Amino acid sequence: MYHDNDRARIFTRRAMMLAGGQAVLMSTLVGRMYYLQVVEADKYRMQADDNRISTQLLAPSRGLILDRNGIAMAVNQHNYVVQVIPEQTPSIDYTLDQLSQIILLTDNDRARIHKDARRHRSFVPITVRENLSWEEVARIEVNAPDLPGAVIDVGQSRYYPLQELGAHILGYVAAPSEADLQAESADSLLQLPGFRIGKAGVERVYDLALRGKGGTKKLEVNAVGRVINELERKEGVPGVDLTLTLDTRLQEFAARRLGDQSAAVVVLDIHSGAVIVMASTPSFDPNAFNRGLTTAEWSNLVNNPYSPLTNKAIAGQFAPGSTFKPMTALAALENNAITPDTQVFCPGFTQLGNFIFRCWKHGGHGLLNVEGALKHSCDVFFYEAARRVGIDRIHEMSARFGLSAQTGIDLPRELPGLVPSRTWKRHTLNQPWLPGETMINGIGQGYMLVTPLQLAVMVSRIANGGLGVVPHVARDLITGSEVHPRPAPNWPSLNVSHQSLDVVRQGMIAVCNEPGGTGYSARITEDGMWMAGKTGTAQVRHITTREREAGLKPLSEIPWKERDHALFIGFAPTEAPRYGVAVVVEHGGHGGSVAAPIARDILIEVQKRDLARMAAAPESH
């Protein structure tokens, strides 16, 4: 009996302990369930939604690019894309074989499609080809029953309606590179298939503003990621429309006037710095970069001796020849090495030690002052002026007028050019400067290199009274994605006396408007449109004494690469200057007969457009 009572107490105690343990476990479970379902409900509801809802980026519409008159230079157009959905076709190769009878598909296209198919799930559409024509889309739609898994999608693609016209300024868009994608500041939009970013020109400089901001769409998906329904869509913010200072009609006229030569022309508003014309020939079609260049197309572009991919206006470096003489004149005048009345006799040559420096005119020009020397482009006068003032002061004056450095224009890949100095030669070549080099560089030869844009800036600063105008191609000020109206210009003074500038300007007026001037045959005869200027012919190879004695060959008998560069700088109208122009024709021959007539015709057209605008404008009251 005793033992039975002990066993009962032990059993009861164990039962209570077991019941207590179960109660503790049940309390813990209930508490945990309460914590998860009540306290943490929002957190797990969010995680469940994340598994159920897929948020995807939407590409914004890229901003348009317009000329100063509102003419579209870069727009967006429908991009028709054919895609294949692997799970909806018994064989990708079968569908591709059928498609290849309708559109062109290369072996590279097939390899890419199979690679993409292996990387994605079977229900994800794979791009077969972009930029289909409407006729190709129609043929695919008509044959849809025989193309299992093939679907047409519509997106946006960049399009340049003027094609080659203005291509160097506009640039082009292309897919982001690996470096773009891996950059710390990389926009998530760059991950979108088919997204394009600016790669050159203003497309690159103002890419952030043109790109806009992406939108989003929320999709309901099942456990394997298949889209069931679209829940929400927020469209992105389109990119800003960019208005340029260019006039496309004048741009077209300039390109047509340059023809098929390797050449460049720049026209600036000398007061505001607005680029009215910037043409570089030959050009290229930027649409080809958007759709993708073929190997043959790329080879033709890079192997063309006329360098169509180079914007010669900002990246073509040429010896300025006699167009540099105004700088030598200003340096000498401002440093009292010469005066406006200083006269130098030109017998056709001058001598320094055992070296003879020849003038372009065999018999010489006789006695000339600085205005006459500019008018006749006398080399001997400027040899002497350069010798007196020295290369370092010539370098300093040239820097004030925009040479030997980038101009600051809002375009990429601008080259700085070169105006040498004693310090430059010592640091670069580890050689001392020679007196004869001063004389050669004083007429724009030797080490000298400039771009057409730098020449246009130089002549604009001469014409506007010595103000440091800076060129630009965007009408507004744009920083990142912020756009602000460009304020009225307040250019700094270059601290050059008006007397010296007047002497140089009078010499340039004589070049084009007085008989005997090197640009007289290309003068503008219309009243109120007269042009001032300076011709230049820059040698690309040394002409020996024997060649001179034998007689120079006509241009047609000289290989293109050995011909002189033809240059001209000018401004108009002479009474109240408004426009500066620079023309360079690579290996074109003589500046007076080749480059000056081009500048004349363009300046006439620019001024006629001004008169037409004023006539069309309503009278102010």
Which positions are annotated as active-site residues?
A: 322
Cα(490)–Cα(330) distance, rounded to whole angstroms?
23
Bridge pairing between strands 579-585 and 242-243 = unpaired
Cα(384)–Cα(220) distance, rounded to whole angstroms?
83
Among 469, 525, 579, 577, which residue's Cα sits nearest to residue 247?
A: 579
Distance from chain centroid for Cα 51: 45
Burial pattern 230-250, b for ≥16 Cβ within 10 A else e, equals eeeeeebebbbbbbbbbbbeb
In one-letter notation, the amino acid at residue 46 is: M
Exposure on the CB side of residue 487, measured as CA atoms within 13 A: 3
DSSP H helical ranges for 317-406: 325-334, 370-376, 379-389, 391-400
Cα(348)–Cα(379) distance, rounded to whole angstroms?
9
Q: Which residues pair with 129 in a beta bridge?
A: 82
Nearest-5° angle of CA 211, CA 216, CA 218?
Answer: 165
DSSP H helical ranges for 143-200: 167-170, 178-182
Among 471, 460, 605, 585, which residue's Cα sits nearest to residue 533?
A: 460
Distance from chain centroid for Cα 179: 20
